[in-house]
Amino acid sequence: MSAPVLILVNKPAVGIDVPAGTQPEFERRDPGEPQLSVLDLGTTRGDGVFETVMVSEGRAPALAAHLDRFRASALLLDLPEPDREVWGRAVEAAIAAAVAEAEAAAEAAAEPAVLAVKLVLTRGIEGSGRPTGWVLAQPARDFTAMRREGVRVVTLDRGYRHDVASTSPWLLQGAKTLSYAINTAAIREALRRGADEVVFTSSDGFVLEAPTASVLLREGGRFSTPSAEVGILPGTTQRRAFEFLRSRGHDADALRLRASDLQRADAVWLVSAVRQAVPVTELDGRALEVDLALTDDLNAYLSARQAS
């Protein structure tokens, strides 16, 4: 396994200058050395945003969509606007360095490397007014078996109404914040209930998302996903999955979906950048159809090199 590549972004936001004494807009640092202050609000408050980008064969097919969402998340938190050009260049540099690392590692010859590239922007050290940014590229977790075997899912109430994003925007629903403790607690609850994963529902009965994935449903040949207006993260993978499904002549729509729609669905997938599409084998104890041929084709499309 090759080592992670860390790039510190010295010019993370528009209107933020490179700090005195540091010339480049970003620079490679040693991920094994301490790089982050214990006073950083990203660590003390989870006050920041992130993206995880899938890189296959050296290409990030959804990078533009991730950079768009990174900006949208930052603005929802009133963080300074990420400098898109700088982040784009930093990500490309991290990918190039990580691909070189992987090629140098002996085992890389067997499988083309899939990387997970994380972009993080925090509010920075308290009182400094200077956000902290970095890019970390590392070999991705291998989801091959999960894409074939699927996951068992339970629905859990997130405790917010479907319109929470407009009634209580300070809850930051729809932003990809660093505060994922609730998301991981929900997955632990799924494990306690004998399942692997979660689909959240709103307190008033709408389907939302998984803790780290979007949800796709199929009922009678029609595909759907919850629309982003119910206070969920607009998924980059869901968007690409719909491109694929429509190119195959399927209807695929973002809708307000009731929990009863989920219970009626004949097939369900969880989709996210690095995991890609994983079929749900069981929903609240009910066995679902698993379409392995479609799942394989969808995953081949998602890992294709071209930009979408």
- List of residues contacting ligand PLP (CB under 6 A): 52, 209, 212-214, 233, 235-238, 271-273
Separation of alpha carbons 271 and 60, rounded Å:
16
Please report how close the Cβ of residue 11 comes to ligand PLP at its closest, in angstroms: 25
- Alpha-carbon 99 to chain mean position: 21
82 CB contacts (<8 Å, ≥6 apart)?
Answer: 12, 13, 14, 67, 70, 71, 74, 121, 133
According to DSSP H, which parts of the chain are helical?
41-44, 63-76, 84-104, 144-149, 164-167, 181-192, 236-247, 259-264, 292-302
Please report how close the Cβ of residue 86 comes to ligand PLP at its closest, in angstroms: 21
Please report how close the Cβ of residue 34 comes to ligand PLP at its closest, in angstroms: 27
Query: Is 133:120 a contact under the CB 8 Å cutoff?
Result: yes
Please report how close the Cβ of residue 233 comes to ligand PLP at its closest, in angstroms: 4
The Cα-based distances of 202 to 73, 173, 260 in angstroms read 21, 12, 12
Residue, CB closest to ligand PLP? 237
Query: CB-wise, 69 or 123, nearer to ligand PLP?
Result: 69
Please report how close the Cβ of residue 109 comes to ligand PLP at its closest, in angstroms: 29
Query: Is 125:168 a contact under the CB 8 Å cutoff?
Result: no
Query: CB-wise, 122 or 236, nearer to ligand PLP?
Result: 236
Query: CB-wise, 213 or 298, nearer to ligand PLP?
Result: 213
Query: CB-wise, 10 or 214, nearer to ligand PLP?
Result: 214
Separation of alpha carbons 21 and 78, rounded Å:
28
Query: Is 241:308 a contact under the CB 8 Å cutoff?
Result: no
Long-range pairs for 107-110 at CB < 8 Å and ≥24 separation? 107/1, 108/2
Please report how close the Cβ of residue 54 comes to ligand PLP at its closest, in angstroms: 8
Please report how close the Cβ of residue 6 comes to ligand PLP at its closest, in angstroms: 20
Query: CB-wise, 101 or 196, nearer to ligand PLP?
Result: 196
Question: Which residues share a beta bridge with 136?
Answer: 6, 118
Query: CB-wise, 80 or 231, nearer to ligand PLP?
Result: 231
Query: CB-wise, 210 or 265, nearer to ligand PLP?
Result: 210
